[in-house]
Chain A
Amino acid sequence: MIKLFRRLCLAWLAPALYAPLAWADDAPAAALTAPAVIGADKISAGDTAWMLTSTALVLMMCVPGLALFYGGMVRKKNVLATLMQSFACTCVVTLLWWLIGYSWAFTPGNGFIGGASRALFEGVTFIHGDASSTLSVSHLAPTIPETVYLMFQMTFAIITPALIAGAFADRMKFSAMLVFVSAWSLLVYAPIAHMVWEPTGWLNAAGVLDYAGGTVVHINAGVAGLASCLVLGKRLGYGRERMQPHNLTLTLIGASLLWVGWFGFNAGSAVAADGRAGMAMLTTQMATGAAALGWMFSEWVSKGKPSVLGIASGAVAGLVAVTPASGFVGPSAAVVIGIAAGVICYFAATSLKHWFGYDDSLDAFGVHGIGGIVGALLTGVFVSKQISGMDGSLLTQLKGVATTVIYGFVVSFAILKIIDMTIGLRVTEEQEREGLDISLHGESIE
C-alpha cells in the first residue's frame, strides 16, 4: 500500500522523469503469450509473497505429508520403503523439471506439448540493476517472478507421481520406481499439464476447467495407479493374510499435513493474493469437512463403526474433488461436491476394487482417480459465472476427463510394460516376504 502510494506520488511529482516507466505500465500484462523479461516494478509483492508461501506448503504435502499418510498405512516391514518413494520422487522430479519438464509443460508449443526453450531453465533470469532490476515472468503469471512460478509448478509435478505410489506400494522395485517416475513425469505429466493449463494446449483452448489440478494431478495419478496395480498384480497373500495398517497415527498426521498444505495447492492456484485465492481457500475447507463426514457416516452405517482411517481418507477425497472446482464455485456447491466425493470414494475404495479384483494397495485410484473424476465433472455442473468469469459444461469437462483417462492409462501401461520386460518391475517373492525395508534398503524399524 505504502509502495503504491509512493509510486503514485512520484509519478505525479516527476512525470517527465518517470515517463518511460509510466508508458511501460500502460502495456496490458495479459498480452503476454510467452515468457518474457519485464521490469521488477511490475511484480506484485503481495502475490509473490503468497506464492512463495504456497510453494512451500505444496512441497510439505509430499514430504512429509503424503509420505506419512502412505507410510502409516503399509505393514511395518515396508514403512521405510514407502517413505523413501515420496522422498526420492521429490528429488528426481526436481531435476527433471529443470532438464525439460517445465519447458514442455508451460511454454507455448503445439496442442499437446510445449517447446524446449526453457530447457535447463534457459532464460529464467533476475538481473539486478541500480536504477531498476529486470526479471523473467511466465505468461501464465505475469505478476510474480518466473522463478517463483516454476517452483510452484514444480511442487505439483513432484507430488503427482508420488501419489501413484499408493497403488504399487509393497511390491515395486526401487530401481523400477525411479525409472517409472522419470518416464511418467516427462511423457505423461508434462503433456497433460500443457494440454490443460497452457493457453496453446488443446484442452485449455476447448474450455476445459481445471482450477488447481483435478485432471492434471489427481485423475492422472489415479489412472496411472490403476495401470500399475494391473501390470504388477496383487501383493503376495492379498485377501488371505493380514495387511492392516501398522500405524494410523502417522496416517492421520499425514492427512492433516495434506489438508493444511492443500491451501497452498488450491488457494495458491489463484497465482495471486486476491479474492479468488480467498474463495478457493474457503471452498477447500468446506468440501474437506463435508467429504470427511460423508465417508465417516457411510462407513458408520454400512460397517458399524466410524474409523480414523475412514475420516482421514474422506478428507483427502474431498480435497481431491474440490481441487478442479475450488476457484470457480461457491461454498455451498463445495459442500455438495465434498459429500459426493466422500460417499462415492468410500464405495470405490471398499467395494469397487473387490468387485474388479485389482489390488490398489492404498487406494490411489479409489481416492485420487475417482475423487478427481467426481470433482472434474461436478465443476462443470456447479461452476459459477459470477466467480469464475467463465462458462463450463459437463460435456466439456467430460472431454477433459476422457482425454486424461485414456492418454494417462495407455502411456502409463506402456511405460510399465517396457520396464517389466527390461529391468523388471516387481521384487522377488523372497524380498516381498521379507519386506522392502530390509531387502531393498538394508534398514528396518523396530
Chain B
Amino acid sequence: MKLVTAIIKPFKLDDVRKAISDVGVQGITVTEVRGFGRQRGHTEIYRGAEYVVEFVPKTKIEIAVENALVEPVIDAIHKTAQTGKVGDGKIFVFELTQVVRIRTGERDGSAI
C-alpha cells in the first residue's frame, strides 16, 4: 500500500478528483495549504504600500491506494493537474504500513 500526496493548483481540484475516481479511488483527503517552490510569490499594492506575498495558496490531496493503483493514480493526477507553467505542484509517494477503518475495525486492503 502507498500514500500518494499531491500538491496542486487549487482550481485543478475538481478535475483531479474526477480523474482519480475514474481509475477506482474510493476516497481522498483535501487540505488548503500555503507554500513556495520555484513559483515565487506575488506583490500586492494598497494605496502605494507594496506587500510581497511569499507563500502561494495550494491544495494538498492525500490518497491511500493498493500497490496496483499507484501508477494509474499518479498518471491521472499528473495529466489533469498539469498546465505546463511553474507552480503546477508535485506528487510524493510514501510507503503505507497500516490502514484501519474505524467503524468496523477492518484492516489494510479491505479498509482502503
A residues sitting closer than 8 Å to B (CB atoms) are 242-245, 303, 305, 307, 309-310, 313, 349-351, 354, 363
User: Nearest 4 A-B pairs (CB), nearest first?
Assistant: A350-B48, A349-B47, A244-B46, A303-B45
Q: How many angstroms between the C-alpha atoms of A244 and B48 in the bound complex?
A: 11
Instruction: Assess whether B46 is in contact with A309, with CB atoms less than 8 Å apart.
Output: yes
Instruction: Assess whether B51 is in contact with A305, with CB atoms less than 8 Å apart.
Output: no
Q: Which of B44, B45, B47, B51 contacts A313 (CB 8 A)?
A: B47
Q: How many angstroms between the C-alpha atoms of A303 and B48 in the bound complex?
A: 8
Q: Is B102 an interface residue (CB 8 A)?
A: no
Least CB distance from B97 to A in Å reads 37
Instruction: Assess whether B47 is in contact with A309, with CB atoms less than 8 Å apart.
Output: yes
Least CB distance from A294 to B in Å reads 15
Residues of B in contact, count (CB < 8 Å): 7
Instruction: Assess whether A307 is in contact with B46, with CB atoms less than 8 Å apart.
Output: yes
CB closest chain-B residue, reference A243: B49
B residues sitting closer than 8 Å to A (CB atoms) are 44-49, 51
Q: How many angstroms between the C-alpha atoms of A351 and B47 in the bound complex?
A: 9
Query: What B residues does A245 contact at CB under 8 A?
Result: 46
Q: How many angstroms between the C-alpha atoms of A351 and B49 in the bound complex?
A: 9
Q: How many angstroms between the C-alpha atoms of A354 and B47 in the bound complex?
A: 11
CB closest chain-B residue, reference A363: B47
Q: How many angstroms between the C-alpha atoms of A139 and B47 in the bound complex?
A: 44
Instruction: Assess whether B46 is in contact with A242, with CB atoms less than 8 Å apart.
Output: no
Least CB distance from A277 to B in Å reads 33
Q: How many angstroms between the C-alpha atoms of A251 and B79 in the bound complex?
A: 41
Instruction: Assess whether B46 is in contact with A349, with CB atoms less than 8 Å apart.
Output: no
Q: Which of A242, A243, A305, A349 contacts B48 (CB 8 A)?
A: A349
Q: A244-B46, A245-B46, A363-B47 given; name 6 further pairs at CB < 8 Å.
A: A243-B49, A244-B44, A244-B51, A307-B45, A350-B47, A354-B48
Query: What B residues does A350 contact at CB under 8 A?
Result: 47-49
Least CB distance from B54 to A in Å reads 10
Q: Can you name 22 A-B pairs with beta carbons within 8 Å? A: A242-B51, A243-B49, A244-B44, A244-B46, A244-B49, A244-B51, A245-B46, A303-B45, A303-B48, A305-B45, A307-B45, A307-B46, A309-B46, A309-B47, A310-B47, A313-B47, A349-B48, A350-B48, A350-B49, A351-B48, A354-B48, A363-B47
Q: How many angstroms between the C-alpha atoms of A313 and B48 in the bound complex?
A: 12
Least CB distance from B57 to A in Å reads 15
Query: What A residues does B49 contact at CB under 8 A?
Result: 243-244, 350
Q: How many angstroms between the C-alpha atoms of A169 and B75 in the bound complex?
A: 53
Query: What B residues does A243 contact at CB under 8 A?
Result: 49
Q: How many angstroms between the C-alpha atoms of A351 and B50 in the bound complex?
A: 12
Query: What A residues does B46 contact at CB under 8 A?
Result: 244-245, 307, 309
Least CB distance from B106 to A in Å reads 38
Q: How many angstroms between the C-alpha atoms of A62 and B51 in the bound complex?
A: 30
CB closest chain-B residue, reference A353: B48
Query: What B residues does A309 contact at CB under 8 A?
Result: 46-47
Least CB distance from A2 to B in Å reads 53
CB closest chain-A residue, reference B50: A303
Q: How many angstroms between the C-alpha atoms of A307 and B50 in the bound complex?
A: 13
Which of B44, B47, B48, B51 is packed against the most chain A CB atoms within 10 Å?
B47
Q: How many angstroms between the C-alpha atoms of A302 and B46 in the bound complex?
A: 13
Q: How many angstroms between the C-alpha atoms of A242 and B43 in the bound complex?
A: 12
Query: What B residues does A310 contact at CB under 8 A?
Result: 47
Least CB distance from B33 to A in Å reads 19
Query: What A residues does B47 contact at CB under 8 A?
Result: 309-310, 313, 349-350, 363
Query: What A residues does B45 contact at CB under 8 A?
Result: 303, 305, 307
Least CB distance from A381 to B in Å reads 28
Least CB distance from A76 to B in Å reads 15
Query: What B residues does A303 contact at CB under 8 A?
Result: 45, 48
CB closest chain-B residue, reference A308: B46
Least CB distance from B46 to A in Å reads 5
Q: How many angstroms between the C-alpha atoms of A152 and B36 in the bound complex?
A: 55
Least CB distance from B51 to A in Å reads 5
Q: How many angstroms between the C-alpha atoms of A196 and B46 in the bound complex?
A: 36
Q: How many angstroms between the C-alpha atoms of A350 and B45 in the bound complex?
A: 10
Q: How many angstroms between the C-alpha atoms of A354 and B50 in the bound complex?
A: 12
Q: How many angstroms between the C-alpha atoms of A428 and B2 in the bound complex?
A: 53
Q: How many angstroms between the C-alpha atoms of A344 and B20 in the bound complex?
A: 56
Q: How many angstroms between the C-alpha atoms of A242 and B49 in the bound complex?
A: 10
CB closest chain-B residue, reference A248: B46
Query: What B residues does A354 contact at CB under 8 A?
Result: 48
Q: How many angstroms between the C-alpha atoms of A205 and B44 in the bound complex?
A: 49
Which of B44, B45, B46, B48 is packed against the most chain A CB atoms within 10 Å?
B48
Least CB distance from A229 to B in Å reads 15
Q: How many angstroms between the C-alpha atoms of A233 and B55 in the bound complex?
A: 31
CB closest chain-B residue, reference A313: B47
